[in-house]
């Protein structure tokens, strides 16, 4: 999703400034055309992996196909329980989360919150009804002064244990959560991801994080 937003931003910039140079730090291939959509098992996907260029995978990619239709805010609230997670916040007029805050750094902050607390907070702010959210309707009230997103580690390598084979299913840690969430994480297509990393000649899997936001 981040890659798509970056592409859309660069493409939009290009349309408004056709005679200008591309934005600083934006690679040439990212502004020349829309991100292509391919079935996850299309042989062309390997070519994109080898070139390090993005494409949108369709048709039920095994990486997360088992989670589609299962993970929503209510479900994750039940699975994480009282576990404290990092919730970032900025004023609504700020267009991006800096994720590093303090004097001379980005505007905003971060605070610990349970997933249910995050859900309650954005609901109280009217953000679940904001334009762009799945729950938006014509009578929704104007969103509040703040924007939020939650960032939670789901799986990460225990770097204190050496894994000479570099296998994705090696020693991992995960935050306190429910047995259902553990089963969900085990159902992810790790073998597909390992093959994709090898095709792209990328570093092996290190960490998997959940980023939860809202429309508007």
Tell me the average pLDDT across 156-182: 65
Tokens standing for 142? 């104007």
Of 83-92, 152-161, 173-182, the one with minimum mean pLDDT is 152-161
CB atoms within 10 A of CB 57: 19
For 100, phi then psi, to 5°, come to -135, 120
Kindly report the pTM of this predicted structure. 0.66
Nearest 10 degrees: Cα torsion 54, 58, 64, 68: 130
The answer, yes or no, to whether residue 7 has pLDDT greater than 80, is no
First to last CA, the chain: 16
CA 214 – CA 158 distance, rounded (Å): 31
Cβ-contact 139, 78 below 8 angstroms? no
Structure tokens at 169: 């299913």
pLDDT class of 159 with cuts at 50, 70, 90: low
Percent of the chain with pLDDT over 90: 22
Q: Flag the least confident range among 70-74, 101-105, 137-141, 208-212.
A: 137-141
């Amino acid at each position: 999703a981040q890659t798509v937003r970056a592409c859309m931003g660069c493409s939009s910039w290009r349309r408004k400034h056709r005679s200008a140079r591309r934005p600083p730090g934006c690679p040439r291939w990212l502004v020349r055309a829309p991100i292509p959509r391919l079935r996850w098992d299309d042989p062309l996907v390997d070519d994109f992996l080898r070139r390090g260029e993005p494409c949108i995978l369709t048709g039920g990619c095994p990486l997360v196909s088992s989670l589609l239709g299962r993970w929503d805010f209510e479900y994750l609230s039940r699975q994480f329980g009282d576990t404290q997670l990092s919730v970032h916040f900025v004023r609504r007029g700020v267009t991006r989360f800096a994720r590093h805050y303090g004097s001379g750094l980005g505007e905003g902050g971060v605070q610990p919150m349970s997933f249910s607390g995050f859900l309650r907070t954005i609901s109280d702010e009217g953000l679940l009804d904001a334009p762009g959210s799945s729950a938006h309707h014509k009578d929704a009230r104007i969103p509040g002064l703040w924007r939020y997103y939650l960032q939670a580690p789901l799986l990460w390598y225990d770097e204190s244990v050496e894994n000479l084979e570099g296998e994705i299913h090696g020693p991992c840690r995960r935050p306190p959560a429910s047995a259902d969430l553990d089963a969900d994480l085990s159902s992810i297509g790790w073998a597909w991801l390992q093959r994709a990393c090898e095709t792209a000649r990328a570093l092996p899997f290190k960490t998997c994080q959940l980023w939860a936001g809202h429309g508007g």
